[in-house]
Structure 1
């Protein structure tokens, strides 16, 4: 039986790790320092508590990191510090360059790195996200088997470390920036009293994020996590000699929502928070 460790069981991480239980894996997590919400998710999904990262590193064949991108390197370093020698799956929204840094960290500990990216909503009875994997063939196959015939659809990318993370940020650059631009567009229209007209125009194009105003509060509540992701996207774009200004601008806009983490906002409240606070 394969033992999987999850760092840390947020809404995505807990749901993904729970799918591995369906293939017979035992799933461990570390309660120390985690929130009550994390503890509730771990209990709901039947995850097994480890006494700490040391026990997890000793007991697990595979450790999956799904955390805010700004914390990805620190999480990898903390695992490496416990001499983990199994398969470390970094499934975070970080740039290929950042993934190479984590590859070096894990290699120094004797672990094998799999580059992963999750695209889609947390797995459920009605939702099937994709887990893209790239890296050494053997470890990638081991990770893919953990999710066979589950609500997590694994797909392998050829080309080694950096491919899965590049795909994630390529998608995020459009998807998340578009969400931010839609909210800013409505905030401007609202200032001039033409938001209803803008919505009417947008509804004529049913594939437009402009027609999904109900999503703005969700974007605001996730800005603390999406902002660093856009910084990583900007880094990846710049490294490829592509314009990075839009991703950087999206990060700046997301910072206007920095205090909205997990708040149950109304649409108008989310747009109000986009207005910069005037200098005193």
Structure 2
């Protein structure tokens, strides 16, 4: 089989790194530079992606399109692709709830194949090996397994039902991300009373406690702009399942206090806690 041409929408930190892995087994990996930030241009260049001028050109040339964008943009982006009558494999790999994944799949005509995807783990750089979970038609998931074979992106197929991959991603994210928010609140409370180091010492006796890793709070703050919308998606999924969403919505609300810390790699634990206490 000929190597496919792959399009990535859009090359954020995760998307660009995943696209670079896809390039191992693709003829070419395209991205649309129109309207994108200087940071996106730098990332795409760093990972060797091929720029094109318009979304239409990307869709006309691509056999496989992978959507990795902020959750709020997923549906509009899917609609734009569907309205172009894209006829290849569309991988909806965003952190969205299963019902939204099914809505996006329903936008596409019979000539396109939609695969539900969910990335669990950090971007595949520096030895990191995330897993791309997939659910959808078997012939399409087979093509995606081949695309990422022998790369830092592992693949795992969950079946043919759209929504399964999104459900797994959000179920994992709801625990992981909410736990980090609780660490920030616990350490912030302890710091107010001068017992934060004692709290960390108590937690460090348990090797499975996020509380023993308070340094991760700064990373949580810098990622809050992405994590908050993911938790809102997970809360919607809880509602659909007849489960209470309030805890995840509260965590998302807490993360919103860090919105201005977007991608700030210089943030310290003290900075993050100060911003949380005085937004």
**TM-score band (shorter)?**
over 0.9
Post-superposition, which runs of at least 4 consecutive aligned residues in structure 1 deviate over 6 A? none
Instruction: Output one character per residue of 1:212-258: Cα deviation in whole Å (capped at 9) or x when no partner.
Output: 11111111111111111111000101111112111111111011111
Distance 1:81 1:15 in 2: 27
> In 2, Cα distance between the equivalents of 1:212 and 1:82?
47
| TM-score normalised by length of structure 1 | 0.95
Q: For residue 39 of structure 1, what is the aligned residue in structure 2? A: 41
Cα contact 2:138–2:160 (8 A) shared by 1: no
- Give the secondary-structure state (helix, strand or coil) at the position aligned to 2:215: helix
Structure 2 distance, partners of 1:24, 1:78, is 24
SS in 2 for 1:22: coil
Deviation at 1:125, TM superposition (A): 5.0
Alignment of 1:153-172 (within 5 A): 153-172=154-173
Task: Indicate the residue corresponding to 1:195 in structure 2.
Answer: 196
Q: Secondary structure at the match of 1:160?
A: coil
Deviation at 1:24, TM superposition (A): 3.6
Determine helix, strand or coil for the equivalent of 1:172. Answer: helix
5+ residue gaps, structure 2: none
Across the aligned residues of Structure 1 and Structure 2, the Cα RMSD in angstroms comes to 1.3
Deviation at 1:76, TM superposition (A): 0.9
Give the Å deviation of 1:22. Answer: 1.2
- Aligned with residue 68 of structure 1, among 66, 70, 75: 70
Partner of residue 270, structure 2? 268
The separation in 2 between residues aligned to 1:64 and 1:24, in whole angstroms, is 13
**Equivalent of 1:84, from 67, 86, 101?**
86
Post-superposition CA distance 1:143-189 (Å, at most 9, x none): 11100111111010014100000000010110000011101111111
Matches within 5 A, 1:222-233: 222-233=223-234
Aligned to 2:114: 113
Post-superposition Cα deviations, 1:91-122, rounded to whole Å, max 9, x if no partner, equal: 111000110111112x2474211000111111
2:191 equivalent to 1:205: no
Distance 1:89 1:230 in 2: 21
In 2, distance between residues paired with 1:203 and 1:237? Answer: 32
- What is the aligned partner in structure 1 of residue 186 from structure 2? 185
CA contact (8 A) 1:127 1:151 kept: yes
Q: TM-score, normalised by structure 2?
A: 0.96
Q: Is the 8 A contact 2:137 2:160 kept in 1?
A: no
In the alignment, structure 1 residue 251 sits paired with structure 2 residue 252: yes
Contact 1:53 1:82 in 2 (8 A): no
Q: Distance in 1 between matches of 2:37 and 2:168?
A: 31
Count of residue pairs the alignment pairs up: 276
- Contact 2:5-2:26 within 8 A present in 1 as well: no
Counterpart position of 2:236:
235
Specify the SS of the correspondent of 1:94. coil
1:5 positional shift: 0.3
TM-superposed deviation, 1:23: 1.5
Kindly state the Cα deviation for residue 276 of structure 1 after the two structures are TM-superposed: 5.4
Secondary structure at 2:100 match in 1? helix
